[in-house]
């Protein structure tokens, strides 16, 4: 099969996008415990949070090559607090999906590498022991 320049460019871009989507979802907290015969209520939810970052050395263009520091730290416990007190929450799972960061990466180009906006979709589910 012979590809012309346009076909090769499309194939390269498609392969690049598909490989960048792999690994965009991260499990932050995962428990698989079963409490002793107690009644439970299932709790789940989702929300969007800001996971923006800023360059450690905020000089335009140079900022593309230096490490970035997170402006907001995402913790699984803060999402699970909506299910109740942590002593009663079991079978916890918190998942972060950073797929929306790919198109939002344009903000890093516009700011010449200094700042990157990254919306993250957080899903959580857990079982709450009823007393």
| Predicted pLDDT at 117 | 92
| Predicted pLDDT at 123 | 94
**Residue ranges per structural domain of the chain:** 25-129
Return all residues near 61 (Cβ < 8 A) that are at least 6 apart. Answer: 112, 113
pLDDT means per 10 residues, the chain with 131 residues, are: 59 53 68 70 92 93 93 88 86 90 89 93 90 77
Q: How far apart are CA 59 and CA 115, in angstroms?
A: 11
| Predicted pLDDT at 10 | 65
CA distances from 88 to 3, 12, 35, 64 (A): 59, 50, 10, 45
């Amino acid at each position: 099969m012979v590809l012309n320049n346009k076909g090769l460019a499309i194939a390269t871009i498609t392969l690049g996008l598909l490989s960048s989507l792999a690994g965009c979802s991260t499990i932050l907290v995962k428990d698989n415990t079963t409490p002793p015969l107690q009644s439970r209520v299932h709790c789940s939810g989702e929300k969007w949070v800001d996971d923006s970052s800023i360059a450690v050395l905020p000089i335009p263009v140079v900022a593309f090559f230096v490490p970035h520091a997170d402006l907001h730290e995402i913790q699984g416990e803060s999402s699970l607090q909506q299910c109740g007190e942590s002593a009663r929450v079991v079978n916890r799972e918190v998942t972060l999906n950073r797929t929306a960061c790919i198109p939002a990466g344009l903000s890093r180009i516009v700011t010449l590498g200094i700042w990157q906006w990254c919306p993250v979709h957080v899903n959580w589910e857990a079982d709450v022991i009823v007393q």
